[in-house]
């Protein structure tokens, strides 16, 4: 003999659960900081990527170039990404041709260079402007919030788990520098609000 539960009781039981799920989805969407509320094409295939997926992580945003004296920093960026990613850290790379025309290639050429030369696994986005009169929307906000414009390739902005810009670092600051890794470790030890 089967026990059948009337539909009106089932709907009465599951409606609150469905509403809670909707509320959680809405809260996740609204909890994204304005700084991360941007979508950029992924470098490898130009698929749109919303930066809100990184909310709650410690983020290092870096403008990159393939033919620069600092290009070898890709190796250091990949190392700190690998070291801290399981603790909630991510590097976001933004190739740009703004400085010295040192990123002249197409998105595919840049992606191939990053993969084949440095085995870059951290997220990279399509080539865009990061300075001048028309920086991409993320860099425009980073510049406004810090009062600091990237001065060359491999300029870095550190963002906490709540989407607040904490500091910026010049191109001369290596990814392995104690000032940068110390700040990353400190932020990783803090909980998001």
- Say what the pTM is: 0.84
Give the number of domains in the chain: 1
In a domain, 106, yes or no: yes
Which tokens belong to 167?
Answer: 């500091």
Distance CA 139, CA 149 (A): 8
Distance CA 122, CA 109 (A): 17
In a domain, 121, yes or no: yes
In a domain, 3, yes or no: no
In a domain, 78, yes or no: yes
Q: Is 52 a catalytic residue?
A: no
Q: How many CA atoms lie within 13 A of 14 on its CB side?
A: 7
Q: Where residue 72 sits, what CATH number does that domain have?
A: 3.40.30.10
In a domain, 77, yes or no: yes
In a domain, 25, yes or no: no
Distance CA 141, CA 145 (A): 6
Summarised one tens digit per residue, pLDDT across range 111-143 is 999 999 999 999 999 999 999 999 999 999 999
Q: Which one of the listed residues 3, 32, 68, 114 is annotated catalytic?
A: 68
What range defines the domain where residue 177 resides?
34-188
149 class by beta-carbon count within 10 Å (0-12 exposed, 13-18 middle, 19+ buried): middle
In a domain, 29, yes or no: no
In a domain, 166, yes or no: yes
Summarised one tens digit per residue, pLDDT across range 135-172 is 999 999 999 999 999 999 999 999 999 999 999 999 99
């Amino acid at each position: 003999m089967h026990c059948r539960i009337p539909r009106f009781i089932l709907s009465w039981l599951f409606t609150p659960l469905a509403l809670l799920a909707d509320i959680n989805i809405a809260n996740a969407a609204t909890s994204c900081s304005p700084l991360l509320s941007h979508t950029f094409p992924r470098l490898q295939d130009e698929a749109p990527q919303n930066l809100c997926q990184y909310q709650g992580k410690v983020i290092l945003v870096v403008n990159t170039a393939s033919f620069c004296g600092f290009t070898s920093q890709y190796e250091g960026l990949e190392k700190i990404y690998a070291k801290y990613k399981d603790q909630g850290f991510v590097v976001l790379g933004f190739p740009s041709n703004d400085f010295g025309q040192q990123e002249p290639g197409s998105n595919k050429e840049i992606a191939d260079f990053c993969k084949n030369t440095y085995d870059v696994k951290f997220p990279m986005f399509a080539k865009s402007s990061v300075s001048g009169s028309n920086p991409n929307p993320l860099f425009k906000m980073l510049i406004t919030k810090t009062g600091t414009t990237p001065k060359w390739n491999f300029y870095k902005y550190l963002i906490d788990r709540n989407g607040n810009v904490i500091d910026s670092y010049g191109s001369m600051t290596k990814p392995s520098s104690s000032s940068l890794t110390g700040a990353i470790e400190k932020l990783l030890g803090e909980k998001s609000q």
